[in-house]
């Protein structure tokens, strides 16, 4: 049993609210997953890389011109590819963050045509690993859409291109020599140059978006450090603004006699609902601490942190202690997720107060805080965690049933003297 409210502002039972991820946190999470948060800089780097790769491929193409059995097909392949590259760069710069499906399919058709023409141009040479130019550059061209389309779509396109090149090289290689070093090594390099850029691009963009989402979530919960001892959260603030507007409109309509008195049953029911919701907000404002909001409004902490604070003692911590405790929970969650199963949890128990063996003369009280983290051993704890714990108070650590346990003694002002 915890000291956290088990109902939201509308009186709906939400179970363990500390684990619930609020609408605000999910909204911030979705914002971090969208391409628009600085991804244009990644897209600009991809554009430059694709242009440089195309220039290199054109130089190789010019050097092999005399060897092509069908030079017109090779030139057409590069013509189609350059049109696709130019059109994609212009379209992504002038368009929105998300490329339409029809445009993405058009890009894929253009790349497929370039690959087909390039293969036709050098098929009779029976050495695709050394002579393909536009087909190899087509794989790099997928970098132009990596920030504008889903990762799965780009990986599937790269996979289809790689599988196609593998099949074509296998059937085009003279019998008895598909695994000969003179053919196998260039063929493997061609396939890698065609497929790996898209894969690396997807990994980089995915990591960047995760970093943005993590930082947004961190900033969101960090704002609770300077909050009052008891306060409403961000989502509740939005609800209060909505209720205030609704109440003002109702009172204004009564004052201007647009709504006649006595109120109709429907209008009276609306007024009663507004009063109930406002009352629930007032009650919650006296029960929810900053730490509750920090956990419940964070997409990351809400899934992994269990908060036990029956007496709402976390509200007594000063800003420095709050920052240290929040940083500790954050670092433990992120460290656990990196090094072990994402289902492992961190439990933060604040209180209960215990009688002090010695009478204090400084008008302070000691709040015991226990932090238990599963799935992480002491020797693998980030050193920054110990520094954060030092800001909370005096602590001792131990290992209990394979879990890291930290006991903290936090000295705060006695609320009775405030």
Q: What is the DSSP string of 258-277?
A: SSPSSPPHHHHHHHHHHHHH
CB 381 within 8 A of CB 367: no
Arithmetic mean of pLDDT, 21-34: 42
**Position 121 pLDDT exceeds 60:** yes
Arithmetic mean of pLDDT, 179-198: 85
Arithmetic mean of pLDDT, 268-288: 68
| Top-confidence range, 159-173, 293-307, 376-390 | 159-173
**Which residues fall within 8 angstroms of residue 291, CB to CB, at 6 or more apart?**
224, 307, 309, 314, 315, 322, 325, 326, 348, 350
- How much of the chain exceeds pLDDT 70, in percent? 78
**Position 340 pLDDT exceeds 70:** no
60-97 pLDDT, tens digit per residue, is 999 988 888 888 999 999 999 999 999 999 988 887 77
Interatomic CA distance for residues 364 and 289, integer angstroms:
20
* Mean pLDDT, the chain, integer: 78
200-223 pLDDT, tens digit per residue, is 999 998 888 888 887 887 877 777
- Of residues 224 and 158, the one with the higher pLDDT is 158
The pLDDT of residue 286 is 54
**DSSP code at position 14:** -
Interatomic CA distance for residues 88 and 143, integer angstroms:
10
**Position 13 pLDDT exceeds 70:** no
Arithmetic mean of pLDDT, 286-299: 77
**Position 50 pLDDT exceeds 70:** yes
| Top-confidence range, 89-98, 153-162, 409-418 | 153-162
The pLDDT of residue 300 is 80
Beta bridge partners of 347: 306, 372
Interatomic CA distance for residues 96 and 36, integer angstroms:
9
Residue indicated by tokens 């109930």: 276
376-413 pLDDT, tens digit per residue, is 767 777 788 888 899 998 988 888 777 788 899 888 88
- Of residues 45 and 243, the one with the higher pLDDT is 45
Tell me the CA distances in angstroms from 203 to 35, 123, 151, 206, one per residue in order. 14, 33, 9, 5
The pLDDT of residue 230 is 65
Among positive and negative, which fits the CA dihedral 111, 115, 121, 127?
positive
Interatomic CA distance for residues 375 and 340, integer angstroms:
6
The pLDDT of residue 356 is 65
**Position 12 pLDDT exceeds 80:** no
Burial of 140 (0-12, 13-18, 19+ CB in 10 A): buried
Arithmetic mean of pLDDT, 283-300: 73
Whether pTM > 0.95 for this model: the answer is no
Interatomic CA distance for residues 39 and 65, integer angstroms:
38
> What's the pLDDT band for 137 if we cut at 50, 70, 90?
very high
CB 372 within 8 A of CB 404: yes
> Angle, to 10 degrees, between the axis of helix 181-222 and the axis of helix 151-172?
180
- How much of the chain exceeds pLDDT 90, in percent? 24
**Position 289 pLDDT exceeds 60:** yes
Given the DSSP bridges, would you call strands 364-374 and 394-400 parallel, antiparallel or unpaired? unpaired
Neighbours of 210 (CB within 10 A): 12
Arithmetic mean of pLDDT, 27-34: 42
The pLDDT of residue 358 is 65
The pLDDT of residue 343 is 56
């Amino acid at each position: 049993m915890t000291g956290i409210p088990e109902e939201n502002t509308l009186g709906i039972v939400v179970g363990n609210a500390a684990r619930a991820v609020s609408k605000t946190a999910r909204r911030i999470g979705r914002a971090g997953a969208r391409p628009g948060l600085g991804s244009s800089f990644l897209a600009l780097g991809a554009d430059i890389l694709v242009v440089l790769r195309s220039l290199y491929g054109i130089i190789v193409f010019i050097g092999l011109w005399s060897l092509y059995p069908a030079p017109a097909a090779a030139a057409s392949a590069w013509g189609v590819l350059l049109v696709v590259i130019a059109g994609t760069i212009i379209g992504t710069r002038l368009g929105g963050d998300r490329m339409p499906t029809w445009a993405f399919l058009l890009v894929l058709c253009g790349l497929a045509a370039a690959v087909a023409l390039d293969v036709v141009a050098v098929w009779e040479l029976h050495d695709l690993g050394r002579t393909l130019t536009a087909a190899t550059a087509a794989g790099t061209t997928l970098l132009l859409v990596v920030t504008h389309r889903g990762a799965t779509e780009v990986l599937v396109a790269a996979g289809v291109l790689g599988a196609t090149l593998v099949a074509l090289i296998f059937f085009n290689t003279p019998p008895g020599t598909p695994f000969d070093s003179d053919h196998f090594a260039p063929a493997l390099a061609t396939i890698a140059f065609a497929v790996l850029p898209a894969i690396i691009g997807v990994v980089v963009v995915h990591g960047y978006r995760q970093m943005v989402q993590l930082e947004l979530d961190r900033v969101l919960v960090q704002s609770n450090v300077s909050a009052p001892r008891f306060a409403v959260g961000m989502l509740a603030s939005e609800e209060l603004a909505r209720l205030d507007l609704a109440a003002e409109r109702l009172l204004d309509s009564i004052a201007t006699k647009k709504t006649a008195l006595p109120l109709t049953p429907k209008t009276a029911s609306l007024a009663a609902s507004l009063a109930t919701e406002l009352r629930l907000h007032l009650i919650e404002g006296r029960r929810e601490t900053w730490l509750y909001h920090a956990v419940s409004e964070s997409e990351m902490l809400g899934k992994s942190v269990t908060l036990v604070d029956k007496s709402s003692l976390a509200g007594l911590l000063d800003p420095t202690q709050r920052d240290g405790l929040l940083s500790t929970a954050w670092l433990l969650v992120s460290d656990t997720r990196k090094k072990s199963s994402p289902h492992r949890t961190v439990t933060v128990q604040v209180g209960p107060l215990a009688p002090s063996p010695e009478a204090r003369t400084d008008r302070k009280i000691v709040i015991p805080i226990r932090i238990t983290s599963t799935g992480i051993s002491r020797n693998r704890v980030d050193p920054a965690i110990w520094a954060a714990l030092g800001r909370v108070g005096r602590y001792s650590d131990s290992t209990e049933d394979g879990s890291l346990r930290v006991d903290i003694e936090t000295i705060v002002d006695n609320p009775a003297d405030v």
